Amino acid sequence: MAFTSVHKNGGGGGVTITPRTLLRVDRPLSVNSSGSAAASGNGHKPVVTATPAGSPSVRPKSASPSSTAYHRRSSSGSAGKNGFETAVPNRVRVAVRLRPRNAEELVSDVDFADCVELQPELKRLKLRKNNWDCETYQFDEVLTETSSQKRVYEVVAKPVVESVLEGYNGTVMAYGQTGTGKTFTLGRLGMDDCSDRGIMVRAMEDILADILPGEDTVTVSYLQLYMESVQDLLAPEKDNIAITEDPKTGDVSVPGATQVQIQDQSSFVRLLDVGEANRFAANTKLNTESSRSHAILLVQVKKTVRVKAGDRELIVLNENGTGSQLTKGIRAPTIRRSKLLIVDLAGSERVDKSGSEGHTLEEAKSINLSLTALGKCINALAENSPHVPIRDSKLTRMLRDSFGGTARTSLVVTIGPSPRHRGETSSTIMFGQRAMKVENMVKLKEEFDYKSLCRRLETELDRLVAENERQIKAREDNEDDSARSLEEAQQCVFEAESKLASALEVQKVRCQKAVADMKQKLEAECVLRKKLEKEVKAISLECETGKEEPLEYSSKIMGLRLSLEKESQKREHLEQELRAIKSEASRKSLNGNLQKQSDELLILRQRLDDELKDRERLEEEIRSLKEQVSLLSDEGDEHTRRMMEKGGSERSSIGSESPGVSISKPNHMRDTINGQRATIAKLFEQVGLHKILSLLESEDVDVRVHAVKVVANLAAEEANQEKIVEAGGLGSLLNLLQSSEDETIRRVAAGAVANLAMNETNQELIMAQGGIGLLARTADDAEDPQTLRMVAGAIANLCGNDKLQIKLREEGGIRALLGMVRSRHPDVLAQVARGIANFAKCESRGAAQGYKTGRSLLIDDGALPWIVANANNDASPIRRHIELALCHLAQHEVNAKDLVAGGALWELVRISRECSREDIRNLAQRTLNASGTFQSELRRLHLVY
Ligand SMILES: Nc1ncnc2c1ncn2[C@@H]1O[C@H](COP(=O)(O)OP(=O)(O)OP(=O)(O)O)[C@@H](O)[C@H]1O
């Protein structure tokens, strides 16, 4: 009978599988023959260490373990829970499971007892050799024919599954004669009856229940080893897949196998169904669906270790053992990559019993060879043989980690009850017995999750960068806010300061106004007081002239004077207080003194009211006095006015050639003036010159006007002139010329200076004090003919001084004099003509005495044309002065040519013939006769003189 290999479940399922290749790196320990673990891996891979404070870290493996006393050791089993890394011995656990009699056995072996007797409580198995002899074997678990699938799972596989979930590799393997229930134990899907579910399905249930979806992963590969070829049960087209071993770690992997990530139990069951369908099976005498391949379910679990509060904190160490600044404080992620192998071995069989032949025979031989190889390895491991023939078959290579490796391994050996197969059963039992002697060095498959750490660090870095950017932005926003707030605050301060400044300014203006008002009132009071004083003085003067009743007024005036002095004292006191207020206001801040100043102002106002009342009283008295002396006062004023308008000098005359204002007065006026002068002379004596002169500097312009008039009248008297000059009157008059804005004052002052200038000594003083310059400036500025008349009169007087000729001319006296002819007023022109005549007379005198040699300065300054033009002026005062001047100029031969050229010769001839004054007419005749130039010219003109 030929055996044909068929797919065990009759073809592929309908599950679509997406192949996914996952890269896996871990660090297994190789197991030497003595069962001690040796560290594997290169010297650069990090290992997990722990700090004394309980913070595990990863250090380079090249560093000496002794370099730190805290080298973390991998935990395994109970040792793993103690936190030690060192692999610890863990014997292969072996359970024996007895399959119940099948239908055939029930029939054929009905008269025979089972070849085995199980003592599950004692975990013993008795193998009957015959009816009287048996051998007893101890197992880790003895599972009777009635043991449920659940029970089998819990005692065989569950501890291994739990170990896998803790990070250890695990292997659950079934070994036994064909048809004894290996596939039943491992691969039963239990689709119809859940209680039938085998170890594969139950293991996955527990794994899926334990992992954290989305974080942990479970992937499955399903392979079969058939005829020394690794095939992918999930992708049957993948054949002869290579088995690779990490040369450093010895870890076995099948990178070409399909890996499917399991999300749920049902998909896994469908996956198993697909794989099972792809498994080679054959119908043998012993098993209608005998597996002809070793099926290997590879479940890879990747779990992230969830660090609980208080657990050690991992820090990544650099090559030099120092922690990275970036990673300090970050809990290093640890992942555990473990794998679970569930191996459903093909059944061992005796070819003769199984009836295998042909290809099936070849399959059987291959199966037996691989199982034999496995047995040899287990024997070697069990006997601590120095050589373990792992490479004798692919099965042993695949199971390298399961026996003598780092995995926790649980083996279930399945046996049948039939005495006909005692030999195979015994062989199976012995296989299990030897396997129980194999010690693995289980090792925690925990590793540092670089990728995860990198991701976490990147995430942390991103978070820190984002946080940094957020903080920078927040800081910038804060700075903007701060700047805005500062700006707003500054604006508020500025507005507040502006308001305060405005308020202070308002208060200040009010205060200043109040002070100004007060000052104005005080000044007004002062003016009134001075007027009163002046009137009192006038009254006093009038009274003392004897024109009215002196005694009656004297007493009143005395009273008034006393009152005035009293008022003066009050005013002085008020002014002092006002100054004090101003000083106080400027010294202290205005704000703090407003109230005080207001109070002081109230007091001042009160005093001012008192002053006003006193003033009203005084005014009432003065009005009364005025009524009584009005006639006298009016007359006195009129006299003064007339006197000033007439120049104040009556005694000057052209004929006398004396310097003075040449205005003649009628006799009756002369008498009146003389009377006034007498009166003024008395006032002069009684009041005192100094007091009168002091009034020239009075702040009251009216007082100054009256005072300068009085001084001018006094100066008209030769007897007073010296006293006036000695008392500083000349200086005061010149000051008025210089500084006074009032035309009247300047006019009268010029008249006074003119009167003083009648005296030769005074003339020199006037020149010495810059008087000619002041007079010239006054002449330039003035338009009033009377002012010009006074100024011209003063200069004319100065022109009569022989010693002052040069200086007067140099300081612009002649030009000023000639400039005033613009007025065309006869009074002015008369004074100009008088000045020219005086000047010419002095020059003539100088020429006669020999100290004047040059041409006339009058001619030099351009006076000749005007002289010639006005020599025959209709106004006799002008005409006479000019005629006289021409005569004096003509007396000096050096002027003759200019006179001739200027047309003066004809005027001289006319004067010599027509002048009404005989003395002038004679002078002209003498001059014409004496001058050769004139004579020559007359001859040239055929004029006989
Ligand atoms: N414990 C058991 N209870 C009931 N039936 C069982 C038990 N064990 C095995 N059987 C049955 O025995 C038969 C053979 O079992 P199974 O195929 O699992 O044997 P096997 O060891 O896998 O054989 P092979 O090595 O040839 O594949 C099956 O029909 C199975 O249902």
How many Å lie between the centroid of ligand 1 and the Cα of residue 773?
155
Q: Which residues pair with 88 in a beta bridge?
A: 442
Q: How far apart are the first and last CA of the chain?
A: 201
Of the two residues 740 and 89, the one the predictor is more confident about is 740
**φ, ψ for residue 712 (rounded to 5)?**
-60, -40
Tokens of 762: 């005074």
- The number of the ligand 1 atom at minimal distance from the alpha carbon of 289 is 17
Residue nearest to atom 26 of ligand 1 (CA): 290
Tell me, what amino acid is at 209? Answer: A
Q: Whose CA is nearest to atom 2 of ligand 1?
A: 99
Identify which has the larger pLDDT, 322 or 934.
Answer: 934
Q: Does the interface predicted TM-score (ipTM) exceed 0.95?
A: yes
How many angstroms separate the alpha carbon of residue 346 from the centre of ligand 1? 12
Of 409 and 559, more confident: 409
| pLDDT-based confidence at residue 341 (cuts at 50, 70, 90) | very high
Q: From CA 144, how far away is CA 161, in angstroms rounded? A: 22
| DSSP assignment of 825-869 | -HHHHHHHHHHHHHHHHHHHHHHHHTS--S--HHHHTT-HHHHHH
CB 795, CB 816: distance < 8 Å: yes
179 annotated ligand-binding residue: yes
H or E element in which residue 577 lies: helix 550-587
Is the CB of residue 259 less than 8 Å from the CB of residue 20? yes
| Residue of minimum CA distance from atom 10 in ligand 1 | 181
Mean pLDDT of 697-723: 84
Is 807 labelled as part of a ligand binding site? no
What mean pLDDT is predicted for residues 873-885?
90
> What residue ranges line ligand 1, CB within 6 angstroms?
99-100, 102, 176, 178-184, 287, 289-291, 346-347, 414
Ligand 1 centre to CA of 128 (Å) is 22
3-state secondary structure (DSSP) of residue 56: strand
Expressed in angstroms and rounded, the spacing between residue 181 Cα and the centre of ligand 1 is 3
Can you tell me the mean pLDDT for 134-149? 94
State residue 99 phi and psi, 5-degree precision.
-80, 140
Pocket test for ligand 1, best of 180, 343, 367 (most atoms within 8 A of CB): 180
Residue 797: what pLDDT?
93
Tell me how far the alpha carbon of residue 3 lies from the centroid of ligand 1, in angstroms.
19
Helix/strand/coil (H/E/C) assignment for every residue in 869-932: HHCCCCCHHHHHHHHHHHHHHHCCHHHHHHHHHCCHHHHHHHHHHHCCCHHHHHHHHHHHHHCH
| pLDDT (mean) for 387-400 | 90
Sign of CA dihedral 713, 714, 715, 719: positive
Nearest protein Cα to ligand 1, atom 8: 181
Closest approach atom of ligand 1 to CA 290:
26
Q: How far is the CA of 99 from the centre of ligand 1 (A)?
A: 7
Res. 17 pLDDT band, cuts 50 70 90: very low
Quick check: 918 pLDDT over 70?
Answer: yes
The strand pair at 124-128 and 134-138 is best described as antiparallel
Q: What pLDDT is recorded for position 511?
A: 72
> Average pLDDT, whole number, for the chain?
75
For residue 152, pLDDT over 60 is answered with yes
Closest atom of ligand 1 to 145 CA is 1
Report the pLDDT averaged over residues 584-610: 62
Q: Report residue 242 CA to chain centroid gap.
A: 71
CB atoms near residue 742 (< 10 Å):
15
Q: Whose CA is nearest to atom 14 of ligand 1?
A: 179
Query: From atom 16 of ligand 1, which residue's Cα is the shortest distance away?
Result: 181
DSSP category for residue 664 = -
Ligand 1 center from residue 808 Cα (angstroms): 162
The confidence band for 320, taking pLDDT boundaries of 50, 70 and 90, is very low
DSSP annotation of 942: T
Atom of ligand 1 nearest to the CA of 180: 21
* CA distance readout (Å), 811 to 8, 131, 772, 777, 816: 152, 177, 7, 11, 9
Residue where the block lists tokens 């003063």 = 794
Most confident of 17-21, 297-301, 473-477, 896-900: 297-301
Q: 378 alpha carbon to ligand 1 midpoint, in Å?
A: 25
Average pLDDT over residues 856-877: 91
Average pLDDT over residues 646-667: 36
Q: What is the pTM of this model?
A: 0.46
Residue 609 pLDDT > 80, yes or no?
Answer: no
177 annotated as ligand-binding: yes
Q: Is 183 annotated as a binding residue?
A: yes
Contact predicate 122/421, CB 8 Å: no
- Tell me the mean pLDDT in the region 160-177: 93
**Residue 557 binned pLDDT confidence (cut-offs 50, 70, 90):** low
How far is the centre of ligand 1, averaged over its atoms, from the C-alpha of 292 (Å)? 14
Q: Output the CA–CA distances (angstroms, integers) from residue 95 to 28, 148, 157, 422, 914, in the order listed.
A: 26, 14, 10, 18, 184
Strand partners, 304: 335
Cα-to-centroid distance, 183 and ligand 1 (Å): 6
Which of 389-398, 632-641, 840-849 has the least mean pLDDT? 632-641
Q: Ligand 1 test: best mutation among 114, 145, 183, 294, most atoms within 8 Å of CB?
A: 183
Question: Which ligand 1 atom is the nearest neighbour of the CA of 347?
Answer: 25
| Span from the CA of 14 to the centroid of ligand 1 (angstroms) | 26
Query: Which among 287, 288, 343, 354 is the best mutation to test ligand 1's pocket, defined by most ligand atoms within 8 Å of the CB?
Result: 287
State yes or no: pLDDT of 565 exceeds 90: no
Q: What is the DSSP letter of 693?
A: H
Closest CA to ligand 1's atom 1: 99
Nearest residue by C-alpha to atom 19 in ligand 1: 179
Best mean pLDDT range from 439-443, 701-705, 817-821, 927-931: 817-821
Residue 92 exposed, middle or buried by CB count within 10 Å (0-12, 13-18, 19+): buried
Position with higher pLDDT, 108 vs 205 = 205
Ligand 1 centroid distance, CA of 162 (Å):
26
Task: Say if CB 283 and CB 301 are below 8 A apart.
Answer: no
Least confident range from 36-45, 245-254, 640-649: namely 36-45
Residue with the smallest CA separation from ligand 1 atom 11 is 181
Beta carbons of 211 and 437 less than 8 angstroms apart:
no
Whole-number Å distance, alpha carbon 425 to ligand 1 midpoint, is 15
Q: How many CB atoms lie within 10 A of CB 84?
A: 17
List phi, psi (to 5°) of 168.
Answer: -110, 150
pLDDT above 60 for 56: no
pLDDT for residue 567 is more than 60: yes
Angle at 142 between CA 140 and CA 148, to 5 degrees: 125
- How high is the pLDDT of residue 847? 85
Task: Tell the residue nearest (CA) to atom 9 of ligand 1.
Answer: 181
Domains of the chain with CATH codes: 6-448 (3.40.850.10), 451-636 (no CATH), 646-940 (1.25.10.10)
pLDDT beyond 80 at 172: yes
CA of 145 to the centre of ligand 1 (A): 12
- Distance between Cα 254 and ligand 1 center (Å): 29
Q: DSSP secondary-structure letter at 157?
A: I
824 vs 750: CA distance, rounded Å: 19
> Is residue 347 part of an annotated ligand binding site?
no
* Cβ 422 vs Cβ 127: under 8 Å: yes
Look up residue 339 and give its two tokens.
């794998």
Q: What is the mean pLDDT of residues 185-198?
A: 92
By most ligand atoms within 8 Å of CB, the mutation choice from 99, 104, 431 for ligand 1 is 99
Structure confidence at residue 358 (pLDDT): 64
Please name the residue whose Cα sits nearest to atom 18 of ligand 1.
181
| E strand spans, 361-498 | 408-415, 439-442, 446-448
Atom of ligand 1 nearest to the CA of 176: 21
pLDDT, greater one: 620 or 474: 474
Amino acid, res. 888: H
Mean pLDDT of 130-134: 79
* Average pLDDT of span 108-132: 84
CA distances from 326 to 56, 260, 332 (A): 16, 36, 12
| Ligand 1 atom closest to Cα of residue 291 | 27
Can you tell me which atom of ligand 1 is nearest the CA of 345? 25
Given pLDDT bands bounded at 50, 70 and 90, which one contains residue 623? low
Percent of the chain with pLDDT over 90: 32
Percentage, residues of the chain above pLDDT 70: 70
Rg of the Cα trace of the chain? 75
Q: What pLDDT was estimated at residue 487?
A: 75
Whether 549 has a pLDDT exceeding 50, the answer reads no
Please classify residue 666 by burial: count the beta carbons closer than 10 Å to its beta carbon, then call 0-12 exposed, 13-18 middle and 19+ buried: exposed
Confirm whether residue 406 is marked as ligand binding.
no
Dihedral (CA of 556, 562, 566, 569) sign = positive
Q: 546 pLDDT exceeds 60? A: no
In this prediction, residue 698 carries a pLDDT of: 81
Query: Given the CA of residue 292, which atom of ligand 1 is nearest to it?
Result: 27
